[in-house]
A and B are shown apart, each in its own frame.
Chain A
Amino acid sequence: MKDEPAMTDSNHTRSARRHFLASSAIGLQSLALAWLLKEDKAFAETFKPELQPKTFDLTPKMPQHPPQATAMISMFMQGGPSHLDLFDPKPAMQKYDGKEFPGKIKYDNAAQASPVVLASPWKFQKHGECGTELSELLPGLSKIVDDITVVRSMHTGVNNHGQSIHALNTGRILRGRPALGSWLTYGLGNRSQELPAFVAMTDPRGIPVEGVNNWSNGWLPALFQGTVVRSQEPRILNLDPRKELSGLAQEKYLSFVQELNREHLRQHPGELDLQARIASYELAAKMQTAAKEALDISKETKATQTLYGLDDPATEEFGARCLIARRLVERGVRFVQLYTKNQYWDHHGSIRTSLPAACKKTDKPSAALVTDLKQRGLLDSTVVHWGGEMGRLPVIQNNAGAAKVGRDHNTYGFSMWLAGGGIKAGGTYGATDEFGHKAVEDVVNHFDYHATLLHLFGLDPEQLVYLRNGRAQSLLDGQDGNIVRGILQRG
């Protein structure tokens, strides 16, 4: 037997809770009490199918084993940064530079395909005590290289942006499934009482490929959907009161609503959902101030602002988002994902200019995030991820002169880096072939990646399930994901 539903409610716990409610009698206005009362759900034994209709909440849930990570910040480099030019040096390619690739290539765009090898135009150098080799395009990352693990053997095996994004963000290549952040909040609830558990931060210049699917709850209940923090006001939709119902007027309105609700509850003693809704109004009111405060980076010290590059137009925007991400995690947000704009890293052409520009935007702020989390003691419990949905091919795309050449998609072998939350500090994992086309050593598939992340959060990939249409659904969806022990501090 497997796939018994984890974390579903069951009769006895509800009943136990009801007893408690009965004996503690009325007086359930206290949010904290409601919160505590719901916590026992986390201990629910789970051997019956999901019974409908169910209600769901974001109260903290117990992980299945002691977690190493409690939060995650993922910097999603949409488009597919070239691993060959950033993370995965291939000195052997130099002698083939400009010559024909000695093997078979899986091209995506046949019309512009060329078999001519493009050795990286950038120099690699060893850094830190771990000696990880990184490209000269990543000076910021080079300084914190001892805090991160570079995975050089990523693989999704499906050469389209959309599908590979789905693989890395939702577990399968098909659309419509819940995002990683949704699974984590479904499994663990929210650590914050005032902020959303799952935040998606979009680039002011546009949302990534697959748009809202990146933070969709799929068929999980809507409360596990990512909350978009937009790049301009209104930062969070429906967060701010409308003018005529703000300030005192809203306070009065809310207290009147709650007065009505409490009276209604008195006529319906013991109805948990009614209590939960009363609590949801209290949370909403708190969120209005808490979120505003969390998004306000003006109170950060000059030193911190400089660390993230807020004083440089090139890094200001991404730096601000990284800093907000830290502030959110600091305040208990479970999962934050930042996206670069649509196809920002999709360097089919002019890679010699576009790749350095993209690095310039993200390198300093992303390194600053790790540094800052570390100095605040948050890195140990926060997984930081930096990577896209693919890497690039070793050969030229668009062979129209040095300035115009680029690289086509490659999902058979690419790199990403991870830090914190139980990830090994310093070093690399896995390898691609001598041309960086295919991962050949310690291959990490998207399902291995997810199994590892869930493990760090104390969740068993096979136990974290949601029953839907009679099937136990999971993030890995039956794919045989392995925990990648080689990148863990405690293998």
Chain B
Amino acid sequence: MEASPTKSPLRLPAMANCIRITIFTLFVLPLVARAGESPLYETEIRPIFKAACFHCHGEEEEIEGNLDLRLRRSTVQGGDSGPAIVVDDPDSSLLLERIVSGEMPPGKSKLTPAEIELIRAWIRAGAKTAEPEDASASAFSLAERNFWSLQPIQNPAVPNVADSSRVRTPIDAFVLSRLETEKLNFAPDANRRTLIRRLSFDLIGLPPTPEEVKSFLADEKPDAYERLVDRLLESPHYGERWGRHWLDVAGYADSEGFNEADTERPSGFRYRDYVIRSFNADKPFDLFIQEQLAGDEMVTGPLKNLSPESVEKLTATGFLRMAPDGTAAGGAMVNLARNQVVSETLKIVSTSLLGLTVGCAECHHHRYDPILQTDYYSLRAIFEPALNWKKWRVPAARKISLYTDEDRTLAAKIEAEAKVIDAERAALAKVFIDQTLDSQLLKLEGAVREPLKIAYKTAGSERTDEQKALLDKYPKILKISDGSLYLYDREIRTDAAKIKAEHKTKEKEFVEQAFTAALADLSKEEQAAVRSAHATAAAKRTVEQKTLLEAHADKLVTAATLEKFNAASAEELKQLKQSEKDLLATLKADRLKAIQEKATKIRETKPHEGFLRALTEVAGQVPETFLFNRGDFEQPKQKLVPAGLSVLDSQELVSIPENNPELPTTGRRLAFAKRLTDARHPLTARVLVNRFWLNHFRRGIVETPGDFGYLGARPSHPELLDWLANEFMSNGWKLKQLHKLMVTSTTYRQSSKRSPEQDEIDPDNHLYGHMSIQRIDAETLRDTVLAISGKLNRKLYGEPVSVTKDSIGRIIIGKDNLDGERKPLAAIDMKGEQFRRSIYIQVRRSRPLGVLATFDMPVMEPNCTSRNSSTVTPQALMLMNSEFSSEYAGVFAQRVYELTKDDPQKQCQHAWELAFGEEATAKQIENSVAYINQQKQHYEKFPQPKSKQTPDQLALKSFCQALISSNAFLYVD
């Protein structure tokens, strides 16, 4: 179905559309002329010039045509072509002429008619500025310096509201006062079942059990809800849930990405565990940030015999090691790869903590925000002592061992023991080589033996050409080595097998000869009878045969009795046996292997050596940082010193030293971390509380959590944002308290039911007049399926659960097990690890787990500041047809079956409660039972030949699969 190709109005909003948006345009529309007032340079004109013109006319070292548009006065003054504008006379203004003709700006993006009209109006009205231009005005305009997110955080008073009955916390007062201006109110409180499900998913990422629901419903104490909140916040699963949110912005991954190999990061998981532990311990967030940015600078002394505290601080710096890092591959692109690590790391830091797209200033001044290109490189300078692209350390070179001196001593002792065995093996190998050489030489004609032996024994580099030629002629001699002995063993085995065969033939022959001799006295008939009886298996002999054999017992010859009849033959056989044994005793490779295994076993007793993935500086290395022209590291320009954003200079934040003499490190990152967590910093706390809010309320107060800049959204509730930021900081940056404040609010406890009144003016619920429904995210979906199936392995922390590809390339949980042609072999037992929570599943960038990727688990390139939620057919197909869905529906059904046995009503009720957290109504039970019966009849009519399950079980399974496929399961109210 193709929409008809009509030109869509991309630039100018249709008038009809403008009416509805009046409430919101204030915080989303970046560029509007104020009606009735003449445009001002700083607020209206400069943003246009900045985006379209400054690059050539002001910001670069060389200013095109000597025209600098960064100041009103330099604009009037003009450049090589004369004044750019004639005040009051747009029609005589060269600047406007060039713009209107399309000559400027060059390239394909032109100014819009609205922008051009604004410039015209500005010139006509006298080209006014908001305030007199001072010298510093060229860097940042007043409007830029006054941008909302760069202002100090205010301490707004909690507003009064008309309907105070709904106000449980100050949050509610802020939200309600805004609602009341639209004549709206909160939705009613949600019921308890909804609340416990909402809270459980929100705080621990898992559904409440039916028992937990029951006990909450039965709790009649007035603080039942508060105690539920406390219980969930104390659950160790809280850290998994909220740690996951942080890992998104940190760009957590268990592989290096960058190139096809996508090498694994074996120690990356310790950072993940650090994050989970920090959340569980309610570590103050300022400390949490400081540790992640500068944990290494907080550790004193050399990086060995690390105390648990030091390990924790160093592990925290894994935050700065999360960017894709392809530098180990080397090659021609290595400098690009190194610089990319630096720039991606800066992206992670700035979008997660500053909430600004600082990365845009890598090549030129930020087009929209007051971030200079020099700011970018000053920021980069903070990290360069640790991420020094000129003296780069690849991931393997940055590993920090967790060995203590004791471990090391013990390991050395064990190594020494193993070395003894190694030496034993080496000596024996030497003997074996000599033996092999001799035995091989014996197979050659006499004349070449000695010269060959000498040639072989001569070191490769010292052999004469003749010797080399000789050895080349006899590769069987040349190739004798420790590693090839097993090949010569094959020869021995062949010889031994020959002897064995000879032994067998001879034995048969000797026995027959002796038997014939022993029977010689008997008649032909008797001989035949004895032979026949003797040849018959003992169990099958007749009574007559047995009697006959007993009578001639002294004449019966077998291999065992041969010696009595013919000692010489028996001796010959014995000799043969012995020579086979002797020959096999000369097998060499297996003996060497056995010794080697002994050494390996000894080595295995060494204490396990873990490593940290951390960021550190190299003492004494203080690299100089240069601005890169257009972001190209091959075009370094002026040197820059470390600093924070210059637009905040007036705010007296912690400044950043070039090299702090009191620390073994430069102290740059530590100072930067202190600066960010300085209560006066306008961004950090705002950015953080906005994120927390987003995860509770499913929408940020600023809807672009990674961008608090000009192109980002404006806060819907700016006072609330500041109030929360203050509250957070004044309570010691403690998160659990803030959680409690948020989730105990009326705003949070509302029903998700929409009201027509609010839908009329605020259909997207910017005003929080009800709770927004939300689809559970990828990890929660998988974890919940595991939980309700009774399979969830609740083990905390540790190495990631590996992922692999199945025979058709799907990414599943498992270990790589490939044959020589890289085709998958049988699955390796995962020992229950396959049931771990999703946060512990290996994040291999090139191998996103199928079920998680389908439900929008983000790709870390390099991080994710806010998740998408898609509703697409592959999700439906996955729930309908995938192995995951089918397998766990089966386990879920089995669990339900075991608990309720053959009572269909009970089965439905129980499964319903597990999946939805709700009690099924009589009608729902009736429908469900009817469905199960239908399916049962179907399976009775069409038996499933390969299934071990009864029609009852299959029907129940399909019911359980329907539940986990349905919206009531997938969405939270």
Contacts and interface: CB of A to CB of B under 8 A. Distances in A.
A, B assembled together: yes
Interface stretch (B373-381, B562-570, B666-674, B869-877): B869-877
A463 to B, nearest CB: 6
A230 interface: yes
A269 interface: yes
A224 to B, nearest CB: 9
Contacts of B870: 55-56, 221-223
Interface in B226-265: 257-260
A25 interface: no
A53 B867 CA distance: 7
B576 interface: no
Interface in B723-755: 752-754
Determine which residue in B705, B774, B876 has the highest number of CB atoms from chain A within 10 A of its CB, and name it.
B876
A253 B958 contact: yes
Nearest to A287: B873
Given A49-B703, A176-B861, A253-B962, A260 B968 contact: yes
Nearest to A274: B967
A54 interface: yes
Contact of B876 (A43, A67, A281, A467): A281
Contacts of B858: 219
A469 interface: yes
B866 interface: yes
Given A65-B7, A222-B870, A469-B865, A284 B880 contact: yes
Contacts of B962: 253, 256-257, 260
B14 A234 contact: no
A6 B873 CA distance: 24
Contacts of B707: 49, 469-471
Interface majority SS on A: helix, strand, loop or mixed? loop
Contact of B810 (A10, A49, A65, A237): A237
Determine which residue in B1, B109, B808 has the highest number of CB atoms from chain A within 10 A of its CB, and name it.
B1
Contact of A470 (B9, B260, B706, B859): B706
A191 to B, nearest CB: 5
B842 interface: no
Contacts of A332: 1
Interface string A101-126: 00000000000000000000000000
Interface stretch (B393-401, B517-525, B933-941): B933-941
A253 B957 CA distance: 11
Given A39-B3, A48-B713, A53-B867, A223 B961 contact: no
A254 B879 CA distance: 11
Contacts of A58: 872
Contact of A252 (B8, B10, B340, B938): B938
Contact of A265 (B351, B756, B967): B967
Determine which residue in B753, B882, B967 has the highest number of CB atoms from chain A within 10 A of its CB, and name it.
B967
A35 B2 CA distance: 12
Given A193-B1, A252-B938, A57 B704 contact: no
Interface stretch (B16-24, B165-173, B212-220, B439-447): B16-24
A245 B958 contact: yes
B830 to A, nearest CB: 22
A196 B876 CA distance: 13
B859 A219 contact: yes
Contact of A60 (B3, B856, B867, B883): B3
Interface in B864-900: 865-878, 880-883, 886
Contact of B2 (A60, A250, A269): A60
B357 A470 contact: yes
Determine which residue in B5, B709, B775 has the highest number of CB atoms from chain A within 10 A of its CB, and name it.
B5
Given A219-B861, A469-B347, A239 B881 contact: yes
Given A56-B870, A243-B944, A243-B946, A12 B21 contact: yes
B51 A1 contact: yes
Contact of B961 (A253, A264, A458): A253
Contacts of A47: 13, 28-29
Contact of A223 (B17, B360, B872, B934): B872
B874 A238 contact: yes
Nearest to A191: B2
A298 interface: no
A198 B832 CA distance: 37
B871 A52 contact: no
B52 interface: yes
B111 A273 contact: no
B92 interface: no
Interface string B959-971: 1011101111011
Interface in A153-190: 162, 174-176
B854 interface: yes
Contact of A66 (B7, B874, B924): B7
A261 B967 contact: yes
A248 B955 CA distance: 13
A: interface residue count bin:
35 or more
Contact of B958 (A39, A52, A62, A249): A249
A274 B856 contact: no
Interface string B251-284: 0000001111000000000000000000000000
Determine which residue in A66, A221, A222, A287 has the highest number of CB atoms from chain B within 10 A of its CB, and name it.
A222
B876 A280 contact: yes
Contacts of A70: 2
A218 interface: yes
B131 interface: no
Interface string B694-725: 10001110011111010111000000000000
A480 B947 contact: no
A430 interface: no
A64 B8 CA distance: 6
Nearest to B777: A53
Interface string A1-15: 111101000111111
Contacts of B488: none
Nearest to A282: B876
Contacts of A22: 756, 759
B101 interface: no
B51 A2 contact: yes
Nearest to A36: B1
A51 interface: yes
B540 interface: no
B48 interface: yes
A105 to B, nearest CB: 16
A64 B7 contact: yes
A165 to B, nearest CB: 11
A218 B860 CA distance: 10
Given A22-B759, A221-B856, A11 B20 contact: yes
Given A2-B52, A253-B962, A270 B754 contact: yes
B698 A462 contact: no
Contacts of A6: 10
A46 interface: yes
Contact of B938 (A3, A238, A249): A249
Contact of A43 (B8, B31, B754, B808): B8
Contacts of A46: 10
B854 A45 contact: no
B931 A252 contact: yes
Contacts of B47: 1
B11 to A, nearest CB: 8
Interface string A43-85: 1011111111111111011111111001000000000000000
B308 interface: no
B619 interface: no
The 5 A-B residue pairs with the shortest CB-CB distance in the complex, in nearest-first order: A470-B707, A284-B876, A223-B872, A48-B28, A2-B109
Given A222-B874, A240-B881, A277-B876, 14 more contacts: A1-B112, A4-B10, A15-B763, A222-B872, A237-B808, A238-B878, A241-B880, A244-B954, A250-B880, A254-B880, A256-B962, A284-B880, A463-B10, A467-B704
14 contacts: A1-B52, A53-B698, A65-B7, A238-B882, A244-B944, A249-B935, A252-B931, A253-B935, A264-B967, A268-B773, A268-B973, A274-B773, A277-B970, A284-B877
